[in-house]
């Protein structure tokens, strides 16, 4: 039971920490957009994102990061909802099964969407640099290396965890069915 309490505390810290970070980031974004001169010097270079010289295509990677982060917050919320039934030793409840399945699917969606957006951003960035510098084209190996880095180990890890959570929810569902069957035979 101490493991479940530790897990609950860590998930709560992660969830609320991400919420606070999101709110602070949104406030910083608004300030950069409307009041860039009022920010401390350390944040003022980020104002270049909002001037007319910064191409909109480079926002693809930032958009994928923001989208992945927001979906990650939602998935941690569903994982957070699983902890109370587990703490009460209701392992085979529908709440645990459904929320584990939702979390696993969200992790897989995060992996697919952010990877695709990063790869699209990579090709757009490559085209932008080719237009700026004549004759500078990424070679095949450099392009493959860039695609591999766009996939990244974090996305690969999220994919594995997502699949694991889907398997875990299936195992809990099978356990629930066996428990119901066992209760009927007694």
pTM of the model: 0.76
- The percent of residues in the chain predicted with pLDDT above 90, rounded, is 38
Report the distance separating Cα 76 and Cα 69, nearest Å: 10
Average pLDDT over residues 61-67: 80
64 and 32, same structural domain? no
In three-state secondary structure terms, 121 is helix
> Token digits for 37?
């001169």
The lowest-confidence range among 27-41, 69-83, 122-136, 169-183 is: 122-136
170 and 107, same structural domain? yes
158 and 75, same structural domain? yes
3-state helix, strand and coil shares in percent for the chain, rounded to the nearest 5: 85, 0, 15
Q: How many CB atoms lie within 10 A of CB 184?
A: 7
Which pLDDT score is estimated for 8? 92
Report the distance separating Cα 121 and Cα 66, nearest Å: 14
88 and 12, same structural domain? no
Tally of structural domains, the chain:
2
- Quickly state the pLDDT bin for 73 (edges 50, 70, 90): very high
Q: Which residues of 125-154 are buried (b: 16+ CB within 10 A; e: fewer)?
A: bbeeeeeeeeeeebeeeeeeebeeebbeee
Last residue of a domain, one of 17, 36, 52: 52
Residue 78 reports pLDDT greater than 90:
yes
- Per-residue pLDDT of 103-136, as tens digits, reads 999 999 999 988 888 788 777 766 655 555 555 5
> Token digits for 87?
């703490």
Residue 94 reports pLDDT greater than 80:
yes
64 to 40, 49, 58: CA distances (angstroms): 27, 16, 11
Residue 54 reports pLDDT greater than 70:
no
- Quickly state the pLDDT bin for 67 (edges 50, 70, 90): confident
Which pLDDT score is estimated for 146? 67
Which pLDDT score is estimated for 174? 93
What residues contact residue 36 under an 8 Å CB cut-off, 6+ apart? Answer: 44, 47, 50
Greater confidence (36 vs 72) lies with 72
59 and 46, same structural domain? no
119 and 60, same structural domain? yes
Mean pLDDT score of the chain: 82
- Quickly state the pLDDT bin for 156 (edges 50, 70, 90): confident
Q: Which domain holds residue 74?
A: 55-185
Report the distance separating Cα 118 and Cα 129, nearest Å: 16
105 and 35, same structural domain? no
79 and 26, same structural domain? no
Q: How many CB atoms lie within 10 A of CB 79?
A: 21
Which pLDDT score is estimated for 6? 93
């Amino acid at each position: 039971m101490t493991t479940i309490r530790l897990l609950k505390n860590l998930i709560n810290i992660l969830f609320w920490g991400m919420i606070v970070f999101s709110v602070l980031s949104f406030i910083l974004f608004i300030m950069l957009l409307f009041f860039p001169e009022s920010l401390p010097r350390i944040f003022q270079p980020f104002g270049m994102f909002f001037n007319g010289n910064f191409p909109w295509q480079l926002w693809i990677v930032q958009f994928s990061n923001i989208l992945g982060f927001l979906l990650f917050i939602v998935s941690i919320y569903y994982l957070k909802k699983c902890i109370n039934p587990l703490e009460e030793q209701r392992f085979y409840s529908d709440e645990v099964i459904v929320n584990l399945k939702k979390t696993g699917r969200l992790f897989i969606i995060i992996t697919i969407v952010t990877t695709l957006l990063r790869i699209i951003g990579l090709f757009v960035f490559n085209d932008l640099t080719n237009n700026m510098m004549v004759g500078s084209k990424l070679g095949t190996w450099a392009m493959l290396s860039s695609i591999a880095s766009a996939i990244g180990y974090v996305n690969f890890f999220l994919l594995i965890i997502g699949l694991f959570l889907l398997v875990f929810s299936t195992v809990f569902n099978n356990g629930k069915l066996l428990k119901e069957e066992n209760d009927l035979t007694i």
